[in-house]
Amino acid sequence: MAAARPPGPPRVSELIAGFDAGQTRTRCRLADAGSGAILAEGNGPGVHHLASGGAAEHFQRALSLSLAQALRALEPGTRGSLLAAAVGASGIEVGSAVQLQGRQLAAAALDLPPQRTVVTGDERTALRGAMGTASEGVLLISGTGTIAVGRNRQGAEHRCAGWGWLLDGAGSAMDIGRDGLSASLEMADGRRPETELRQRLWKALALNSQDPGAAAAIKARVVQPDFGAASFAALAPVVLASAEAGDASALAIVRRNAAALAAMAAAISRRLNLERPPVWPLGGALSHLALLRRELELALAIELPGAWLAAPAADACAGALSLAREQL
């Protein structure tokens, strides 16, 4: 019997990496630096805003672990040599000290020179991914929070909204839920006509709308540390269901928030001189709340005639890979 051949030297692939670093998880996608072919993916933990305590260590750990998992997923016998990387991360404001800090942290975590490392807001990488081969357009993200960003043919970008749920959540699931709950309290006080919206919302909170202490219980609940934006956002589907059933108060809330999203797209288009841009809707609220999306289309027809809702070409990791290739 012939002796088994010893394994040859590992194939070395020159790689670029694109990261989508959210608060829940971080995704890393590896591609061939020359052809752009996708080779592997990996996941890691989420990141925190870099201005918060301990966030720098979380950020580097998330990048390192997701990269390590992606490298392990490469084809057997392949060793990767990372040439450049781009990270789209939650809470990174372009041009800020936090962005510079993020770039330095990422370069160290990935063992790359800073000039081969890009760190930017995740809305920017989502925009690049959504655009695909398009030369201009606007990205609208509506989930628990909201943010919008656009790009024109000259490569200029403008971001709009998304300044935190305490200040600027118009168009988000959080605002829809909060506005609904606020309206329900006005109904309980007699400041506006009673509708089914109050019964639906208070039932969702396991409260009896006939209980005279229910309004006070809501006041006490919303200030608890574990309530916050996500708990308001969880009430948005209740508001949408009421609107779908013909509740005028709920429908007014949905329309007001859809109009806020359309206003973001219009503001970006004015700043970037976009005339009839594609608008890419992303985020859980626009994906799962059909009435909000329909009302957005109607509001866009008024605010930005000629604009249309378009399907994103690709995701945020694809957008990050595009930025990474530009560094080579």
- Asked if 39 and 16 count as a contact pair (C-beta separation under 8 A), the reply is no
* pLDDT given at position 50: 87
Per domain, the residue ranges of the chain are 13-133+314-326, 173-309
Q: Which residues are registered as beta bridge partners of 40? A: 30
pTM of the model: 0.89
* pLDDT given at position 78: 79
Residue 65 burial (C-beta neighbours within 10 Å; 0-12, 13-18, 19+)? middle
Q: Check: CATH 3.30.420.40 for 173-309?
A: yes
- Asked if 176 and 142 count as a contact pair (C-beta separation under 8 A), the reply is no
- Tokens at residue 246, please? 């013909």
* pLDDT given at position 304: 96
**String of b and e for 175-195 (b: at least 16 CB within 10 Å)?**
bbbbbbbebbbebbeeeeeeb
Q: Per residue of the chain (328 residues), what is the pLDDT tens digit?
A: 455 555 555 566 899 999 999 888 999 999 999 999 999 999 999 998 888 888 999 999 999 999 999 999 998 877 889 999 999 998 899 999 999 999 999 999 999 999 999 999 999 999 999 999 999 999 999 999 999 999 999 999 999 998 888 899 999 999 999 999 999 999 999 999 999 999 999 999 999 989 999 999 999 999 999 999 999 999 999 999 999 999 999 999 999 999 999 999 999 999 999 999 999 999 999 999 999 999 999 999 999 999 999 999 999 999 999 999 999 9
**Whole-angstrom Cα distance, residue 65 to residue 214?**
47
Residue 231 half-sphere exposure, CB side, CA atoms within 13 Å?
Answer: 12
**Whole-angstrom Cα distance, residue 315 to residue 317?**
6
* pLDDT given at position 3: 52
* pLDDT given at position 307: 97
Q: Do domains 13-133+314-326 and 173-309 have the same CATH topology?
A: yes
How are beta strands 78-89 and 117-121 bridged, if at all?
A: parallel
> What's the topology of domain 13-133+314-326?
Nucleotidyltransferase; domain 5 (3.30.420)
* pLDDT given at position 311: 96
* pLDDT given at position 12: 63
**Whole-angstrom Cα distance, residue 114 to residue 185?**
53
- Tokens at residue 237, please? 């589907």
* pLDDT given at position 4: 54
